[in-house]
């Protein structure tokens, strides 16, 4: 391993333990997959902690973590790298996936179905017994570092027919499902990250619970834990509770006026 | 912070207090979000003062403001920056978002849903606990300046199914709704900015009120305050009132001949 | 203002008075908007004189005029400018809008809805109280010259759902409607520009009147004044009247054989 | 006019009289339009002689002729010209339209609706009283040579809703319709160009007449004169008449097996 | 003709007589078209020998042959040529069509409807009395070598509405239809090319005949002669007959399980 | 053959025997096709061993193997090669297919229908009696090395109308079908690759059998052997059996909650 890569690793190492509360045996499953070098797929709704979990595991396993948020205009070359012109010289520059493959990092492809289809082709040989990355433009095939681990995330509530993981891709991953944390645990999180007392945090979690229950009435997704923390922090800044909840929880969720009224009533019920 | 950035800040500083009349506790909410470094989403119809509000807050908080009007052909690289060839040298040039992140400015993405989807990916890590901007092309991850604040605007009346903010994006913002100002306040604004007497201004506001009430009869949006000011300024230039109102208020709103007649009657009723 | 711009102004100055017959108070309205620096939108059908009116006003006000005919493949950079490679040097070249903004010209965007959507973004800050043009690629914000005036044209008969001006764009303009001139005035124009006697001109105008009345029977638009002038000029070249009208007026309007017959009958009725 | 252009003119001059048989007053109409500098639109089906007519008129008027066959991927820059890199120097190269505008040629845009929409924008200022060509990339506006004439062709049988000339474009041209020549004249043409006796030519024309009459039964267009000439030339090469007609006339027209049978019967009827 | 072209011709000359069995007067028709310089269109299903026929005629006429397989991403410039940067020099490189036009080769555009529409424009002036190729990028018009011949192929069974030859293109060609050879002749071909005895070859042809008859039951096309040869060659390699027919004939034709059963029964019937 | 290619061959040689259990006469068929130089098409569902089979055959025949995973954005030039700028020099770089053609490798195009259509054009002349590769950009036609063999794979369960192999492509291959191995053989594979005892392996295979039988109830594909091996390896890491099966087999297959329940019941039935 070259010196440059050694330096690079430092940049991707997570040095502070991320705050994460375990909800099941997810760490054990992740460590088993990691030990067997099996690629991992995290399924779950927005803001339930998938990204945080990966950061936590990277910290716990002492591995560098390289995250790529995928989107409709992400090409394979954005992952692998490309030739650049630098002062009249053509220089190859590794993309984030190639860097991860070389240094043995965890590579986390967030919302992978959003990416263009040529990316799936790139990850296939990395997710079967070959464990290689083909850089066609350099005519190079790189064997993955033995510590390299591919993790992808995926929100099943979202997927349309057009944007779905193909079976030939899905069947390359060990899958783990995530959901909102239980009320008690979520209260801990909100109190800790929002810096409010446990009572206020508990009420915010109760509000979220009610909102998540009315999901079928027109909300495409429930309120994430993140929004509860936002509300808590506004309250800490002396914004009145009702106003804080409306701005941080209700208004971001929907543009529907009637639903906003229902959500407002829920706030009144609880506070 | 380099000297170049210091100079840059000057360019984006708002030195004259923008004329803004508060309608609720919006300044308090904005300051709270700002203190907690929470990203802000402004929801509301065309021309109701969202852009003016951001300018006012930037002035009030003494922060530089960088505005980007989003559109269908806006790529992530338009926000982040790109390599340019300058006299045989390849030079990196920061985009407006990167500049804002470095100098601790308020970055205002106007009508953000219009932008291409790869832009959402760029703002995600800036709007959670990471507060970082990834410049993939440079392999660089920039931590946001502690004063950096992301503000987006959004017109819910507009959104189609194709152009909607994803829940995973929405749930990253504290939201504030905007609407046309109350009659009294709007009269003040029209009189002040249109430079007409309060009586004329009041009549123009009354006309707008009537037009906004017939919205459901075929108008997709009501007349903005801006159009009232336009009418006032034409009146000041001795254009007859009816003609001024027709050119500045009615004709811009719709191409429908029957609606124009109805609007003409409304002018006759008031003046 | 640099010398280069001074020279440039000469190129865009209209030195000969364009032939224009006023039909209402359109010159007064235009001058008022101009005095107040309010952007102007001209609405009306094909060939009714919108472009001529702008040329006339530019002449009358002594302002340079820069016209851009918009189309589906017109990008914002076509308006603003771009970096060009010239003999190994990268040189910035202003686009027509930037030139107009710098020299204080009238910039006329003909059929603006045809342009790509990123152009609307460019004109927004030029059409509100900011009156600035952002050149993102140069990181430059240019304040508009105090004489700069933006004028757009727009044919409401044309617009489909896909190609419509957004309310947030429309509500930035003072609007003026145009239509075919009255019979008498149109006769003057045809006689003057087509160089025929008033009687022939009058008959051509009468023919146009009849054709414009059958618009609902399958013609998407009536015959423009321009076509009448074409017919007059063919008649002047000794082409028989019926043939001249057919070639210059009827055949350009439609490919429908039955409509052509009806149009032929109209010619017979009048001549 | 520079020497280079003078040389260029030679290349586009038609030195041999093209074989053309007049069918009405089309040459008179063309000359009148030409004298008045009015743009001309030729309407008619495939292979009825539009291109030949333009070549004939160019010869008769002694003007150079520049023809551009339009297609879906034809951009405005293909007509106007572009900057090219030549041995490290950037050189501007005029496109065919620019060349025609400079040298006063007839510019013939064949099947103009096939071209991309930005081309229409280019021809608009050339087809009204401005008679100018804007080369935006050079910031140059070229006045057309006084002999410049724009001619477009157009097949109304073809046009779909998507591919139609806009009224604002159509109403800039004097139009002339073309159709297959009368039997007698067509017999002359086939005998002359196919080098067969008048009897054989007459039978081929009779066959074409029958085929053109069954157009409504599934043929989108009738057999062009060109195909008759092809058949004549195969006959001259001793291909049996029936086989020659089948290969040169019937098989090119349609892939429908039943229609081929009907067409075969028509051959049997006549020969 | 330059030396380089002379050398080039050698590369495209067919030096060994391709195996081809005539089925009618196709060689006579081709030679007549060739003598008259009439472009040729070959119509017929997959694998019935169109390509082989062209190779055979090229050999027989002693002409070089340049073949271009067309596809959805084939642009006109792929046929004509382009400027390339070679060690800081811009060099023009002829495309295959230009090479054929210069050296007087037969240019065979296989499945021409698959190509992009700008290609049709390129071949139009080559297929009428002009016989020229326009290289717009060089401002050059090349007259075709007198031996140049354009041949296109076309599978009518395939064509959709979107991918159809326009009448204005079709009516430029002498057409010839191709179909599977008669049983006797096909047996000869299979025995010769598959290197099996006439009895086995005959059985394979009989199988093909049966399969071609059930075309309407779900097969979009019958088995080509090529597949029969494949089967013969597998049999020669001691693959059991049933298995050989299944792999070489049935499985390539369809993915439908029930159809495969029917096809399997047909094999059992014959062998 | 140049030295560079000789070195290249080493890179693509498979030096360790891949684990492969024969299920029929597939090796014999492949060797016969190889001896006859007939292109091969492998049909079958995801993860049933097509890729492994090709690797095994490459090992067994001692041939280098070049694999290309195809996708929607794969252009012909990705297969053939392209000119690259290297330190001011233009250098041609062979693509993977060209390399295979030159060195006589097996070229395996995985999921070929996913590629863009211009790729099919490239492989046509390689799959008929020509056995040549055209590099249009170099004006070069390369005859394939006598050992060159083209293999493609194809999953019939997947194909939509839009993404189907054309008959003119299909009818160029000898086809072989693949399916999941028989229970006994699959048990061997799972035990060997998953490193568990035969009893556990057998139970996992039994579970897969049940899941494959309920395919019609909403699963688009059955569980691949690969997923069984994943489960085995998690079990080896002391993950409880039910949890291991759920993560490695059930969750990757579907997002449907009810189907997950059914799958959970199947696990309970067996373990």
What ipTM is given for this predicted complex?
0.82
Q: How many angstroms separate the CA of residue D163 from the nearest CA in chain C?
A: 13
Tell me what pLDDT residue F124 has: 87
Is residue A81 over pLDDT 70?
yes
pLDDT the model gives residue C161 = 45
Lookup result for tokens 């492509």: F169
Nearest to C117 among B73, B224, B252 (CB): B73
Q: What does the pLDDT read at residue C87?
A: 59
F89 and E CB contact within 8 Å = yes
- Res A268 pLDDT > 50: yes
Q: Work out how many domains chain C is built from and give that number.
A: 2
Boundary of a domain, candidates B177, B194, B221 = B177
Distance CA B13, CA C216 (A): 56
Tell me the mean pLDDT in the region A49-65: 93
Q: Which residues of A touch F51 (CB under 8 A)?
A: 128
Cα of A221 to nearest chain F Cα, Å? 16
Q: Which residues in chain D are contacts of C100 at CB distance < 8 A?
A: none
* pLDDT of E163 strictly over 90: no
- Asked whether the beta carbons of residue E234 and residue F38 sit closer than 8 angstroms, the reply is yes
Q: Answer whether C234 sits within 8 Å of D174, measured CB to CB.
A: yes
More confident residue, B158 or D194: D194
Taking 90 as the threshold, does the pLDDT of residue B33 lie above it?
yes
Q: Write the DSSP symbol of residue A216.
A: G
**Nearest residue on chain F to E227, alpha-carbon basis:** F171
Phi, psi of B142 (to 5 degrees): -100, 125
Tell me whether residues D118 and C71 touch, CB distance under 8 A. Answer: yes
Of A160-164, B241-245, C217-221, F246-250, the range with the lowest mean pLDDT is A160-164
Confidence bin at F157 (pLDDT 50/70/90): low
| pLDDT category of residue A165 using cuts at 50, 70 and 90 | confident
Report which listed range, A142-156, D144-158, E113-127, is most confident: A142-156
Q: Do E230 and F120 touch (CB under 8 A)?
A: no
Answer yes or no: do F73 and F130 share one domain.
yes
Instruction: State the count of interchain CB pairs (< 8 A) between A and B.
Output: 105
Identify the closest residue of chain B to A90 by CA–CA distance: B90
Please indicate whether, in this complex, the C-beta atoms of F247 and A36 are within 8 angstroms of each other: no
Q: Which of B264-268, C110-114, D148-152 has the lowest mean pLDDT?
A: C110-114
Residues of B in contact with A230 (CB under 8 A): 36, 38, 174
Query: What's the pLDDT score for residue A232?
Result: 95
Q: In 3-state terms, what secondary structure has residue C67?
A: strand
Q: Quick one: average pLDDT of C92-106?
A: 93
Contact F96 A136 (CB under 8 A): yes
The pLDDT score that the predictor gives to residue B148 is 97
Interface subset of C 94-123, CB within 8 angstroms of D: 94-96, 99, 111, 114
As a whole number, mean pLDDT of residues D224-246 equals 93
What contacts E47, CB < 8 A, 6 or more positions away?
A: E224, E225, E226, E227, F168, F171
Please report, rounded to a whole number, the percentage of residues in chain C having pLDDT higher than 70.
89
pLDDT number for residue F15: 87
pLDDT tier at E169, thresholds 50, 70, 90: confident
Whether E248 and F32 lie within 8 Å, measured CB to CB? no
| Residue A161 pLDDT class (50, 70, 90 cuts) | very low
**Whether residue A20 sits in one domain with residue A140:** yes
Confidence check: pLDDT of C228 > 60: yes
pLDDT digits (tens, 9 = 90+) for B96-115: 999 999 999 999 998 888 77
Q: Which residues of C touch D84 (CB under 8 A)?
A: none
Shortest Cα distance, chain C CAs vs residue B14, angstroms: 12
- Cα distance between residue F28 and residue E235, in whole Å: 12
- Range of weakest confidence among C235-244, D257-266, E131-140, F178-187: E131-140
The number of CA neighbours under 13 Å toward the Cβ of A45 is: 17
Assess F47–A contact: CB distance below 8 Å, yes or no: yes
Rounded Cα distance, A53 and A28, in Å:
12
* Cβ separation C252–D121 shorter than 8 A: no
Q: Is there a single domain that holds both residue D147 and residue D210? A: no
**DSSP percent split of chain A into helix, strand, coil, nearest 5:** 50, 15, 35
Spatial contact of C74 and C114, defined as CB atoms under 8 Å apart: yes
- Specify the higher pLDDT residue, F61 or E111: F61
- Reported as a pLDDT band with limits 50, 70 and 90, residue C71 is confident
Contact flag C32-B238 (C-beta cutoff 8 Å): yes
Specify whether the CB–CB gap between B53 and B20 falls below 8 A.
yes
Q: Is the pLDDT at D157 greater than 90, yes or no? A: no
pLDDT score at A60: 95
Residue D92 has pLDDT above 90, yes or no: no
Chains B and C in direct contact, meaning 3 or more beta-carbon pairs closer than 8 angstroms: yes
Cα–Cα distance, F27 to F33 (Å, whole number)? 10
Model confidence band, residue C133 (pLDDT cutoffs 50, 70, 90): very high
Which residues on chain A are in Cβ contact (under 8 Å) with F47?
Answer: 168, 171
Residues B60-69: tens digit of each pLDDT: 999 999 988 8
Query: How many CB pairs below 8 Å do chains C and D form together?
Result: 105
Which tokens belong to B98? 């990167």
- Looking at A145, A177, A209, the residue that finishes a domain is A177
Q: Verify that B123 and B239 share a domain, yes or no.
A: no
A172 and A248 housed in the same domain: no
A58 min Cα distance to partner chain F (Å):
19
What's residue B42's pLDDT?
A: 94
Please report the pLDDT score of residue A207 as a whole number: 95
Question: Is F164 in the same domain as F188?
Answer: no
Of E85, E125, E171, the CB nearest to D227: E171
Chain E residues in contact with D258 by the CB 8 A cut-off are: none
pLDDT tens profile B108-139: 998 888 777 678 778 988 998 889 998 877 77
Higher pLDDT, F121 or A133: A133
Query: Residue F161: what pLDDT?
Result: 45
Confidence of residue F197 (pLDDT cuts 50, 70, 90): very high
Are E29 and D247 within 8 A, CB to CB?
A: yes
Q: Does residue F74 belong to the interface with chain A, where contact is any CB pair within 8 Å?
A: yes
Q: Domain range holding C72?
A: 3-177
More confident residue, F57 or B48: F57
**CATH number of residue C88's parent domain:** 3.40.50.300
Q: Is the domain of E172 the same as that of E187? A: no
Structure letter (DSSP) for residue B16: S
Task: Look at E64 and C154; give whichever has higher pLDDT.
Answer: E64
Q: What is the mean pLDDT of residues F135-150?
A: 87
Q: E38 CB near a chain D CB, below 8 Å?
A: yes
Q: Enumerate neighbours of D (3 or more CB pairs within 8 A).
A: C, E
For chain C, the average pLDDT equals 86
D159-216: per-residue pLDDT in tens? 444 456 778 788 899 999 998 888 999 999 999 999 999 999 999 999 999 998 875 5
pLDDT in tens, E33-57: 999 999 999 998 877 789 889 999 9
Residue C121 has a pLDDT of 74
pLDDT at F87: 59
Residue D130 and residue D232 in one domain: no
Q: Which of E154-168, F3-17, F230-244 has the highest mean pLDDT?
A: F230-244
> What's the pLDDT at B157?
64
Based on the domain organization, do A47 and A152 belong to the same domain? Answer: yes
Whether residue C103 is found in the same domain as residue C191: no
Domain end, chosen from D177, D199, D229, is at D177
Contact indicator for C128, C172 with CB cutoff of 8 Å: yes
Q: What is the pLDDT of residue A34?
A: 94
Q: Does F146 touch chain A (CB under 8 A)?
A: no
Exposure string for E172-195, b = 16+ CB within 10 A, e = fewer: bbbbbbbebbeeeebbbbbbebbe
pLDDT over threshold 50, residue E161: no
Which residues numbered 221-250 in B keep a CB inside 8 Å of some CB on A? none
Shared domain for F29 and F128, answered yes or no, is yes
Contacts of C260 in chain D (CB under 8 A): none
Is there a contact between A156 and F51 if contact means CB atoms under 8 Å apart? no
pLDDT at C57: 96
User: E229-233 long-range CB contacts below 8 Å, 24 or more apart?
Assistant: E229/E189, E229/E190, E229/E193, E229/E194, E230/E194, E230/F36, E230/F38, E230/F174, E231/E194, E231/E204, E232/E190, E232/E191, E232/E193, E232/E194, E232/E195, E232/E196, E232/E200, E232/E201, E232/E204, E233/E194, E233/E195, E233/E196, E233/F36, E233/F38
Q: What percent of chain C has pLDDT over 90?
A: 48
Contact C71 D128 (CB under 8 A): no
Query: Is the pLDDT higher at F12 or at A149?
Result: A149
> B162 CA to chain A: closest CA distance, Å?
13
Tell me how far CA of residue B55 lies from CA of B44, B105, C98, F47, in angstroms.
16, 12, 24, 58
A121 interaction partners in chain F (CB closer than 8 Å): 69-71, 74, 114
Segment A124-144 shows an average pLDDT of: 85
Average pLDDT, stretch C117-130? 82
**Nearest-Cα residue of chain B relative to residue A237:** B32
C104 pLDDT tier (thresholds 50, 70, 90): very high
Could you tell me the pLDDT band of residue E144, with boundaries at 50, 70 and 90?
A: very high
Asked if D253 and E170 come within 8 Å (Cβ–Cβ), the reply is yes
Looking at the fold, whether C234 and C125 belong to one and the same domain comes out as no
Which of A212-221, C100-109, E233-242, F149-158 comes out lowest in average pLDDT?
Answer: A212-221
What is the residue-averaged pLDDT of chain E? 86
Q: D65 Cβ partners below 8 Å, 6+ apart?
A: D12, D14, D54, D55, D58, D105, D106, D108
Q: What are phi and psi of B94, to 5 degrees?
A: -60, 140
């Amino acid at each position: 391993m070259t010196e440059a890569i050694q330096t690079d690793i430092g940049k991707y190492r997570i040095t502070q333990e991320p705050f994460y509360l375990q909800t099941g045996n997810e760490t054990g499953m992740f460590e088993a997959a990691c030990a067997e070098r099996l690629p991992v797929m995290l399924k779950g709704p927005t803001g339930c902690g998938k990204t945080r979990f990966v950061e936590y595991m990277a910290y716990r396993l002492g591995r560098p973590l390289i995250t790529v948020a995928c989107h409709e205009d992400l090409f394979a070359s954005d992952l692998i790298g490309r030739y650049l012109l630098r002062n009249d010289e053509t220089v190859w520059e590794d993309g984030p996936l190639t860097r991860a493959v070389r240094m043995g990092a965890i590579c986390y492809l967030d919302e992978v179905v959003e990416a263009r289809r040529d990316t799936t082709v790139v990850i296939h040989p990395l997710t079967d017994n070959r464990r290689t990355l083909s850089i066609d433009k350099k005519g190079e095939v790189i064997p993955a570092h033995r510590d390299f681990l591919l993790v992808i995330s995926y929100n099943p509530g979202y997927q349309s027919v057009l944007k779905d993981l193909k079976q030939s891709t899905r069947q390359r991953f060990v899958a783990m499902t995530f959901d909102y944390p239980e009320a008690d645990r979520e209260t801990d999180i909100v109190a800790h990250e929002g810096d409010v007392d446990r009572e206020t945090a508990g009420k915010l979690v109760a509000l979220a619970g009610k909102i998540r229950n009315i999901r079928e009435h027109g909300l495409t997704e429930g309120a994430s834990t993140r929004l509860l923390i936002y509300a808590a922090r506004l309250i800490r800044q002396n914004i009145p509770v009702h106003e804080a909840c409306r701005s941080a929880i209700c208004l971001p969720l929907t543009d529907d006026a009637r639903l906003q009224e229902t959500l407002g009533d829920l706030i009144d019920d609880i506070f």
